[in-house]
Amino acid sequence: MEEEIKRIAKAIIDSKKVTVLTGAGISTESGIPDFRSEKTGLWNKFDPNLLSKEFLYKDPQKFYDYGLKMLSSLRIGGKIKPNKAHYILADMEKSGWISCVITQNIDGLHKMAGSKKVFEVHGNIKKSYCISCKMEYPLSMLYKKVLKKQIPPLCPKCKGMMRTSIVLFGDELNEEFYAARKEVMESDLLIVIGSSLEVGPVNTLPLLARKFAIINKEKTFFDEQAFVVVYENAGKALLDICKNLG
C-alpha cells in the first residue's frame, strides 16, 4: 500500500487541478453507516426502491414513515461530527492541494469540517422545499409537521406539498451535479474516496477526468480503470498521502 500512496501523492504534486469525489465510506468513521457493506450496509435493512420520487407522490404516508426510520438509522441530526478524513480534505483545500470536494453524502460533514468549495450532488439533509411554489425551508419544519401527523406536510405559504431536498431515485439531477461535472472535466486528477461507484450518473464522473485514483475499503467495478487503487480507511489513507506531500 505504501507504493500506491506515494503514487497518489506524486500525482497530486504533478497536477495543476485535483478534485475529490466522496461517498458514504468517508463518513463511516463518524458513526454513519454506509449503504452497501455486506453486514452493516443500510440496504440490508431498507429497500432503496422506497426512497423514490414515485413512491413519495404515490404513498406519502408510507414514504415518511419509512424515511423517519431511515433517518434514525443514519443518526443525522444528532451529535455526528466530522472525522479525520473530513478535516484533512479541508486542510488540503486550504493548502491548495485540491480544488474542491464533490460528495454523494447528504450529511453536511465536509462543510462542517471547513471545506469551502463543496458540491452536494445528492442534496443536503438540512433542507426541504415546496414542490408548488419552490419556497425553501429547514428540514426541521418538515420533520415537525410529519411528527404531528401532517402527511403530506404542507407549505405554510401556498399549502403545496413539502418534501426533502435530498435527491431521490427518479429525481432530476440538481445544478450542483452539472457544476461538479465541469470541475472534473477540467481536472488532471480525480481522487474517489469511500464510494462504491454504483450509483449513476455520479459514477460517470471518474471517466471524465484525465485520470483517477480510488481509495475504498472494498473493490469497485472501476478499479481496473483507475491508475491506482488503495484499499484502506479514508482517514488513514489521506493522512499517509499528506505525509508524502510534505
Q: For residue 128, list its beta bridge partners.
A: 137, 164
CA atoms within 13 A on the CB side of 3: 2
Active site residue 86: no
Residue type, 106: I
Q: From the centroid of its chain, how far is CA 156?
A: 30
What is the C-alpha R_g of the chain?
19
Choosing from 111, 122, 163, 181, the catalytic residue is: 122
Residue 96 sits at the vertex; the CA angle it makes with 14 and 116, to the nearest 5 degrees, is 135
HSE, CB side, 13 Å, CA atoms: give it for residue 204: 9
**Residue 53: which H helix or E strand, with range?**
helix 53-58
**Residues catalogued as catalytic:** 122
